[in-house]
Amino acid sequence: RTLQSTEDELAAQARLTRDLQDDLLRTRMVEFESLAERLYRTVRQAAKETGKQVRLDIVGGAIEIDRGVLERMVGSFEHLLRNSVAHGIEAPAVRRAVGKDATGRIRIGIAQSGNEVAVEIGDDGAGFDYERIRRRGVERGLVAPEAEPGEAELAQLLFQPGFSTALAVTELAGRGVGLDVVRAEVGAMGGRIETASARGQGTRFRLLLPLTTAVTQVVMLRSGTLTVAVPSTLVEIVRRIDAAQTERAYAGGSVEHDGEAVPFFRLAALLQAGTRGEGAARSHTVVIVRSAAQRVAVHVDEVIGNQEVVVKNVGPQLARLPGLAGVTLLPSGAVALIYNPVALAALYGDEARRLMRRAAPEPAAVADAVPRAPLVLVVDDSLTVRRVTQRVLQREGYRVATAKDGLEALERLAEERPVVLLSDIEMPRMDGFDLLRNVRADERLAGLPVVMITSRIAAKHRDYAIELGADHYLGKPFAEEELLALVARFAGADIPT
């Protein structure tokens, strides 16, 4: 009887805790309409500066969204509205000439689906000028002169850093700063951005965002040596398929589900950390993941289970990684990354398929004939920093070796000489300064470029590193483009593709 009463009390306490948590979460929720005045003001100012007549309508403003999501995304909403006025809506005389109302219309529509909210910003303007986008892409070297990319590919060029089709620089347009930041912000929230445009009819930007980022249910998945979390709201179903179906899925790149061919990926391959699954099992686990109207099937080795977690905001170094929804601390104390596999597939799908096709290693003689990509050694005691830096470099075609401190770095250097060494300063066992001394004392490593990457940005630390022989000193958090430019300069060789 005592045991039963204890269990009843624990269950009652759990219900009380859950009710309290739900009440606290509700206090974080605010209506989208709370931004209305700020958004109306943004459109009025942009219309006044461009001499255009524009009307803004907000539909679904009563839907509640986490205050943290709204505060983080309001800058992106404002930028998209200014873009609609500057690039989308035509001048009154032009609109009348084509039979349109002189006043342009911008519509913000908000709709909720499960634990996601879709914010759609559309206008009835001129739509994308795909030919101008293509010409600007050719001018910037993003499109080959003889290439004929489709409209979807051309639309993606607008999200490239520094890309703009404006003919002149104004307060609202021409700097090429904006849409790339918008996509980075959406990606950092674990969301996605979609575009649609019709010539003469207008353009729509659809942002899919999490309803809340405070507490969420996740499904823990293991793929090879990786264990990651996926929001439960994205998991449609977990299936078991036999070995023959798995082989057909790897060969054809899709798996049948509800009469639909769903794109098929190995989860580890999407994260660029693996190729095929474990061994020859009789059946394999496939998780069908859905975000908005898009589905992907991911092959995993194990579904560990469902957990409720507190989502932590990612730092500036991780914020630009597409598909990364957040980070959480598990009860075991381990850190788990929360991913959106649909967003990963959209960006890394082609690379994942190439990895998945590597069913067996090539013969040594053939492998030796292929030029190897330059090797970069990353030394940092933070696993997160190592992983992020590794992924950034691998995406550019480099091979990457990692070490958690100076002693492990010396072991890596004994195995193969890299083209550049990237090292933190504060590390256990052997810090970055001692590592640098050892490198400069080794004749075999003479001339090896060394870049110190650290949060210790005081002049005395910089001067000391330069005195020991560092080639460059980079502060944390660093800009991804700056790091890649440094590595390319020190590598001094083209990257094999």
pLDDT in tens, 443-478: 888 788 888 888 777 778 888 888 888 888 888 777
Q: Quote the percentage of the chain above a pLDDT of 90.
A: 17
Rounded CA separation 325/334 (Å): 17
Residue 54: which pLDDT band, with cuts at 50, 70 and 90?
very high
Give 263's strand partners. Answer: 254
Q: Give the pLDDT confidence score for residue 288 in this predicted structure.
A: 92
pLDDT exceeds 50 at position 176? no
Alpha helices in 217-333 (DSSP H): 243-252, 267-270
Q: Which residue is listed with tokens 């013969």? A: 363
What pLDDT does residue 361 have? 39
CA 249 – CA 245 distance, rounded (Å):
6
Note the pLDDT tens digit of each residue in 59-78. Answer: 999 988 888 888 888 988 99
Report whether pLDDT(317) > 70.
no
d(CA 302, CA 309): 19
Segment 264-281 mean pLDDT: 76
Cβ partners under 8 Å of residue 91, min gap 6: 51, 52
Does residue 207 contact residue 196 with C-beta atoms inside 8 Å? Answer: no
Q: Which pLDDT value is given to residue 106?
A: 95
User: What does the pLDDT look like over 323-379, one tens digit per residue?
Assistant: 787 788 776 777 888 888 888 888 888 888 888 876 433 334 333 434 567 888 999
Kindly report which listed range (72-81, 165-174, 206-215) carries the lowest average pLDDT score.
165-174
Specify the pLDDT at position 404: 87
**In order of start, what are the domains of the chain with their CATH numbers?**
28-210 (3.30.565.10), 215-356 (2.30.30.40), 364-491 (3.40.50.2300)
Answer yes or no: is pLDDT of 170 > 80.
no
Tell me, rounded to whole angstroms, the distance of Cα 189 from its chain centroid: 9
Better pLDDT: 83 or 320: 83
406-441 burial by CB neighbour count: b if 16+ within 10 A, else e?
A: bebbbebbeeeebbbbbbbbebeebbbbbbbebbee
- Backbone torsions φ then ψ of 175, nearest 5 degrees: -90, -15
Q: Is 266 helix (H, G, I), strand (E, B) or coil?
A: strand
Query: Helix 383-395 vs helix 480-491: angle between axes, to the nearest 10 degrees?
Result: 60
User: Is 424:382 a contact under the CB 8 Å cutoff?
Assistant: yes
Predicted confidence (pLDDT) at residue 103 exceeds the cutoff of 90: yes
Q: Give the chain's mean pLDDT.
A: 81
Q: How far apart are the first and last CA of the chain?
A: 70
Extract the tokens encoding 187: 């990606």
Segment 91-117 shows an average pLDDT of 89
pLDDT higher than 50, residue 254: yes
Average pLDDT of the segment spanning 190-219: 82
Confidence band, pLDDT 50/70/90 cuts, at residue 166: low
User: Is the Cβ–Cβ distance between 325 and 115 less than 8 Å?
Assistant: no
Q: How would residue 96 be classed by pLDDT, with cut points 50, 70 and 90?
A: very high
Q: Please say if the pLDDT value at position 279 is more than 60.
A: no
Query: At 240, which helix (H) or strand (E)?
Result: strand 235-242
pLDDT higher than threshold 70 for residue 494: no
- 119-98-137-192 Cα dihedral, nearest 10 degrees: 10
